[in-house]
Amino acid sequence: MNDNENKSPNAKENSGTDSRIISELRSAYKMIEKSRKSPEHRKVKHAVEQNMLLENLDTKNRLR
């Protein structure tokens, strides 16, 4: 018995849907990666990191 005999009647349809979903996820991932490389993203990331460092420093000073 081969794999095709074990699959439901909707196997081809599900396979097509799966392929479409995978394709959409790949394109979304590419868009996210592209935006991560943008100067705006880097500025925001740096600002967030600086803010977190300042908050950590403030917390340490309060604990002393």
Query: Could you read off the pLDDT of 18-41 as tens digits, one per residue?
Result: 999 999 999 999 999 998 889 999
Structure token pair of residue 23: 């394709």
Task: Give the integer Cα–Cα distance in Å for 21 and 27.
Answer: 10
Task: Give the integer Cα–Cα distance in Å for 35 and 29.
Answer: 10
Q: Considering the chain, what is the average pLDDT of its residues?
A: 84
* Three-class SS state of 46: helix
Task: Give the integer Cα–Cα distance in Å for 23 and 18.
Answer: 9
Question: Which pLDDT score is estimated for 21?
Answer: 95
More confident residue, 64 or 55: 55
